[in-house]
Amino acid sequence: MKNVWKVAAAVLAACVLAGAPAYFALREHRALGEMTARADSLRAEADSAEAARDGLAGELSDAQSRLEGQGAELEAARSALDSADKEREALAAQLEEARTKIEELSQTPRFDPDGPAYQQLYPDFYAPQPLDASQAPARVIYLTFDDGPSVQTGRVLEILARENIKATFFVVGRSGAASPDTLRAMVKAGHTVGMHSWSHEYKTIYASVEAFLEDMYKVFTLIRDETGVTPTFFRFPGGSTNSYDYGIYQDIVAEMLRRGFVPCDWNMSAQDATKTPLAPEQIVANILSAGNVARGVVLMHDSKPRATTVEALPALIAALRERGYTFAPLTPEVKPTLFNYKNYEQMP
């Protein structure tokens, strides 16, 4: 039996002796495998880090070139801005030049070189603004007083102030030159001052178109210089058509309209230019006899013998107010009022 154990021991020993190297070799082999795997994974990590770095480097280079591109764009934009600035300056200079030219042209009289020579007379005898005759409201009364200033003017101004009414005075230059303070008082109170000739002498002013212009230019400069307001309206002494101007009134009207002035006849009259003064009631009745006009231009006289005209004013104003009228001074929106032309009465 002892032999059996010996054999067994010998076999075991042989096995151990034969197996140990194999065992150790196996262990070494495993460690090597693990290290190789680890090295592989590290290499892979290194590879991907490198790829990431390459990617970032690429992005950086892209960003740099974009930045360079933007720099160039910025530079281009700057120089475009510079040249736009220069262009703007050049245009502003051109605009200024055009403005000056317009200013010069607007001060140059607008006459027709083939027209009558009198168009070139008095190059500053022009109304201040172009006629715009479309705006006047209906049911308005324009009270007008001719031939002043006179001893009556102060009372007329008082009544108008009390009634809060603005009116129009067609003044005679000769009388106005004698009392320029009254002209200024009219303007200061908000009334319109129109031209009614310098001399009021029919034979003189209606001798020719040139004679008419010469006379009117004198009253024009008087009003302009004494009041600071350039007149636009004028009234023909005796009305636009009378036995003195019948041959030339159309030429006068055309020439004055060309210069921007607005002629003003009337459609309601006090008929107060009588030898014996009328009673105030008669004056009111005369004016109201015109009937229910859309717009009334009332002719009255402001002169020494016309005290009853002044006395008639309060009753006249009350009667017109009762008929629904309001009062206004003549302003450039009001259409020309001429006996022989379509006038305010036919207006809508």
- The residue with its CB nearest to Zn ion is 146
Min separation Cβ 273 and Zn ion, Å: 8
d(CA 215, CA 197): 6
Q: Which is nearer to Zn ion, 147 or 226 (CB)?
A: 147
Binding mask 261-300 for Zn ion (x = CB under 5 A): ----------------------------------------
Q: Which is nearer to Zn ion, 146 or 214 (CB)?
A: 146
SS (H, E, C) the chain: CHHHHHHHHHHHHHHHHHHHHHHHHHHHHHHHHHHHHHHHHHHHHHHHHHHHHHHHHHHHHHHHHHHHHHHHHHHHHHHHHHHHHHHHHHHHHHHHHHHHHHHHHHCCCCCCCCCCHHHHCCCCCCCCCCCCCCCCCCCEEEEEEECCCCCCHHHHHHHHHHHCCCCEEEECHHHHHHCHHHHHHHHHCCCEEEECCCCCCHHHHCCCHHHHHHHHHHHHHHHHHHHCCCCCEECCCCCCCCCCCCCCHHHHHHHHHHCCCEEECCCEECCCCCCCCCCHHHHHHHHHCCCCCCEEEEEEECCCCCHHHHHHHHHHHHHHHHCCCEECCCCCCCCCECCCCCCHHHCC
Binding mask 56-75 for Zn ion (x = CB under 5 A): --------------------
Min separation Cβ 300 and Zn ion, Å: 11
| Nearest C-alpha neighbor of 137 from the set 279, 335, 338 | 335
Min separation Cβ 237 and Zn ion, Å: 5
Site for Zn ion in 237-256 (CB under 5 A): 237
Min separation Cβ 221 and Zn ion, Å: 20
Q: Which is nearer to Zn ion, 237 or 329 (CB)?
A: 237
Q: Which is nearer to Zn ion, 146 or 226 (CB)?
A: 146
Site for Zn ion in 134-173 (CB under 5 A): 146-147
Min separation Cβ 301 and Zn ion, Å: 7
304 within 8 A of 273, measured Cβ to Cβ: no
Q: Which is nearer to Zn ion, 235 or 295 (CB)?
A: 235
Q: Which is nearer to Zn ion, 149 or 237 (CB)?
A: 237
Binding mask 95-134 for Zn ion (x = CB under 5 A): ----------------------------------------
Q: Which is nearer to Zn ion, 111 or 202 (CB)?
A: 202
Site for Zn ion in 170-229 (CB under 5 A): none
Judged by CB under 5 A, the number of residues near Zn ion is: 3
Q: Which is nearer to Zn ion, 175 or 308 (CB)?
A: 175
Mark the segment that binds Zn ion (CB under 5 A) among 128-136, 236-244, 316-324, 338-346: 236-244
Contact positions vs Zn ion (CB under 5 A): 146-147, 237
